[in-house]
Amino acid sequence: MKAETGLYICDGCLKEIRQGGLRYCVKIEGICAPDCAEQENGVTDIKKEIDFLIGQMKNTPECELISQVYSERYYDLCPRCYKNFFDGPLRNLHEKNNNR
Ligand SMILES: [Zn+2]
């Protein structure tokens, strides 16, 4: 993130990235990829799929619907956090799921 001073702050360790220092920009996109409803012959039943989606959307706020379909995040990282991030981007999820 960019600080008021014009310098960047690492989104990982929250330390200032010195002027002229290496900074890595990481952009993450999440896009919903639902399974399609298929008929027995393998052909997609579009009407069934649309009815199902409309039923799911009825009581959901618009902003929540958008975030369910597409999410985007942007991070500024120092070299150390960048390396740690790419060494194991799903490490936190794995640890949380294994500590249930
Ligand atoms: Zn950092």
Question: How confident is the model over 50-90, as pLDDT tens digits?
Answer: 888 788 778 777 777 777 788 999 999 999 999 999 888 78
Quick check: 81 and 25 in contact, CB under 8 A?
no
- Number of domains, the chain: 1
Position 3 in a domain:
no
Position 12 in a domain:
yes
Quick check: 76 and 10 in contact, CB under 8 A?
yes
- Domain span including residue 28: 8-98
Position 61 in a domain:
yes
Q: How far apart are CA 9 and CA 1, in angstroms?
A: 5
Position 1 in a domain:
no
- Ligand 1 mean position, distance from CA 27 (Å): 16
- Ligand 1 mean position, distance from CA 5 (Å): 18
Q: How far apart are CA 94 and CA 44, in angstroms?
A: 34
0.95 exceeded by pTM: no
Element (DSSP H or E) covering residue 8: strand 8-9
37 DSSP 8-state letter = P
